[in-house]
Amino acid sequence: MSLLLRNGTVVLADKTFAADVLIEGEFVSEVRAGIPENAAERVIDASGMLLLPGGIDVHTHMDMPFGGTTSSDDFLTGTRAAAFGGTTTIVDFAIQARGTRMRDALDTWWGKAEGKACIDYGLHMIVTDLGTSGLEDMDDLVREGVASFKLFMAYPNVLMVDDGTIFKALSQTSKNGALVCMHAENGGAIDVIVQRTLAEGKTAPIYHALSRPVTAEAEAVHRAIALAEMAHAPVYIVHLSSEAALNQVREARDRGLPAFAETCPHYLLLSIDEMDRPNFEGAKYVLTPPLREKENLPKLWDGLKHDHLQVVSTDHCPFCFADQKVLGKDDFTKIPNGGPGVENRLQLIYHHGVNQGKLSLNRFVELVATSPARIFGMYPKKGTIAPGSDADIVIWDPEAELTIGVATHHMRVDYSMFEGFQVKGNTRQVISRGEVIVDGGKFLGKPGRGNYLRRAARGGAWK
Ligand code: URP
Ligand code: ZN
Ligand code: ZN
């Protein structure tokens, strides 16, 4: 099947130009003005539309066990929702259970995605235990296209690993070319504050945020970067939430270190004030690191603009308010951590970034598609519109208006952190490997059509 997108404006990370895009099968074959209408079996008129590389969200948690429950979107509902919002690739996290091989976790997560994923997906591996064979297992996983590993400096006794383990993992990636992704918060100190807080009878959702200070994040970011420097390895800080943490990344980059970081729409647009909502509604915003004081928000936008931050991901980790968040009604530590977002990333960042003059159109594309593709070993298959690339293309209507919320979203979750946010700019059609999977608000893709992506090590992280 061939498909011609005519009269659109192609937006890439480094340029914007009027062009037609010819797609043959799953790939882009030509990008230029004046491709004749009879060049393809199907023609879509893209006049007035922007043609963007499909969005890449490198931080999602579909069907993820957490605190006795499981995130409410699985690979079907979550990737379908992602597609509605213009994301055509996700990289999700498999979790090594302590005392087991990473390979088992990879098989488990392939099983979760099998027959369900509606868009292409890659996997990071969360390392909880190096045991005796963990370093060789990491090499084995890199050969399977798992080119990144997440390690936790928080959640003692569950996911947290010590500095020696982090240093060993970083040293291994300096050889095998994978990228270590760090959840950077000082889990030991936080745990002491949490216990003190509970002992004082403070159990409401807001205390989740108050027991995880900014300094605990900044210290851990500093330590993660120092360990990476000693190991001669790059490092990527996930879900960075505060100015203090950002300063650590900026300082490292200014010294020429290969330190990278992402932030998420909720840290850019919401503050700790949300957590004071009555009737336990603050629980909707319990995620980690927590929402911060609003003074941080413009600093993060500035970090995106000046490349101190390289990626916007969502950390999509939804739990329903009615029957999951409520598990922590009497104790904030039992509220499952995480919030929904995979569907609304492009809409929110386009509206609040591009429309409001904080980001150029090209920087927007770089943050939501090109830079994640490069850093995580998917470029130029993903993250651009060029001959030979996968035909993952969003036909973006810059004039389309949307009110974000449960009434309009497709994520399997009973609330939105952005309920009532009005945005301008939304998908009209979404194309994944040459197939129109979303058209005018209808989903046309088949569950299971998404392919597992074998990602390359050294995916541009050194450039
Ligand atoms: O609260 C969060 N972020 N939940 C997902 C797990 C993680 O740390 O990314
Ligand atoms: Zn994390
Ligand atoms: Zn996460």
- Report which protein residue has its CA nearest ligand 1's atom 9: 315
| Element containing residue 371 per DSSP (H, E) | helix 371-375
Q: Cα(81) to centroid of ligand 3, in Å?
A: 18
CB of 337 within 6 A of ligand 1: the answer is yes
Q: Are 430 and 84 in contact (CB under 8 A)?
A: yes
Pocket test for ligand 1, best of 288, 324, 413, 417 (most atoms within 8 A of CB): 288
Establish whether residue 287 lines the binding site of ligand 1, counting it when its CB lies within 6 angstroms of any ligand atom.
yes
**3-state class of 390 per DSSP?**
strand
Ligand 1 neighbourhood includes 92 CB (under 6 angstroms):
no
Residue type, 270: L
Query: Is the minimum distance from the CB of 381 to ligand 1 under 6 angstroms?
Result: no
CB atoms within 10 A of CB 123: 25
What pLDDT does 459 receive? 82
Half-sphere exposure of 301 (CA within 13 A, CB side): 20
Kindly give the distance from the C-alpha atom of residue 317 to the centroid of ligand 1, in angstroms, as a whole number.
Answer: 7
* Inter-residue contact 178 to 142 (CB < 8 Å): yes
Q: Which residues contact 125 (CB under 8 A, 6 or more apart)?
A: 93, 94, 96, 102, 105, 106, 138, 141, 146, 148, 149, 150
Whole-structure pTM value: 0.98
List of residues 6+ apart from 387 with CB closer than 8 A: 27, 28, 29, 30, 31
Beta strands in 287-408 (DSSP E): 311-312, 393-403
3-state secondary structure (DSSP) of residue 205: coil
Our answer on whether the CB atom of 317 is closer than 6 Å to any ligand 1 atom is: yes
CA of 45 to the centre of ligand 1 (A): 41
For 169, the enclosing helix (H) or strand (E) is helix 163-176
Give the residues across from 31 on adjacent strands: 21
Strand partners, 151: 182
Cα distances (angstroms) measured from residue 405 to each of 272, 287, 420: 20, 19, 6
Angle at 251 between CA 149 and CA 223, to 5 degrees: 45
pLDDT for residue 302: 98
> What's the pLDDT score for residue 351?
99
Count Cβ atoms within 10 A of the Cβ of residue 15 and give its class: 0-12 exposed, 13-18 middle, 19 or more buried.
Answer: exposed
Question: 125 and 457 in contact (C-beta within 8 Å)?
Answer: no
What is the rounded CA–CA span in Å between residue 346 and residue 55?
Answer: 7
Cα torsion for 50, 54, 55, 60, to the nearest 10°?
150
Give the distance (Å) from ligand 1 centre to CA of residue 96.
15
Say if ligand 1 is within 6 A of residue 288 CB: yes
CA–CA separation, 29 vs 66, rounded Å?
A: 43
Backbone angles phi, psi at 222, to 5 degrees: -60, -45
Q: Show the 3-state SS of 85-136.
A: CCEEEEEEEEECCCCCCHHHHHHHHHHHHCCCCCCEEEEEEECCCCCCCHHH
pLDDT of 460: 53
| CA dist list (Å): 79 to 237, 267, 374, 406, 416 | 24, 22, 21, 17, 17
Structure tokens at 16: 């914007």
β-strand partners of 10: 17, 51
pLDDT along the chain (463 residues), means of 10: 98 98 98 98 98 99 96 99 99 97 98 98 98 96 98 97 98 97 98 98 98 98 98 98 99 97 99 98 98 99 98 99 98 98 99 98 98 97 98 99 98 98 98 97 98 90 46
Does 183 sit in the ligand 1 pocket, CB within 6 Å? Answer: yes
Computed from CA positions of residues 117, 62, 182, 309, in that sequence, does the dihedral angle turn out positive or negative?
Answer: positive
Q: For residue 23, which phi and psi values (nearest 5 degrees)?
A: -115, 130
Helix (H, G, I), strand (E, B) or coil at 176: helix
Ligand nearest to the CA of 314: 3
> Which tokens sit at 184?
């950077």
Question: Does the CA dihedral 62-60-71-339 come out positive or negative?
Answer: negative
User: How many angstroms does the Cα of residue 64 sit away from the middle of ligand 3?
Assistant: 10
Distances (CA, A) of 105 to 100, 118, 139, 211, 355: 8, 21, 15, 31, 42
pLDDT for res 463: 44
Question: 289 alpha carbon to ligand 3 midpoint, in Å?
Answer: 10
CA distance 453 to 54: 15
Instruction: Tell me how far the alpha carbon of residue 107 lies from the centroid of ligand 2, in angstroms.
Output: 22
Ligand nearest to the CA of 288: 1
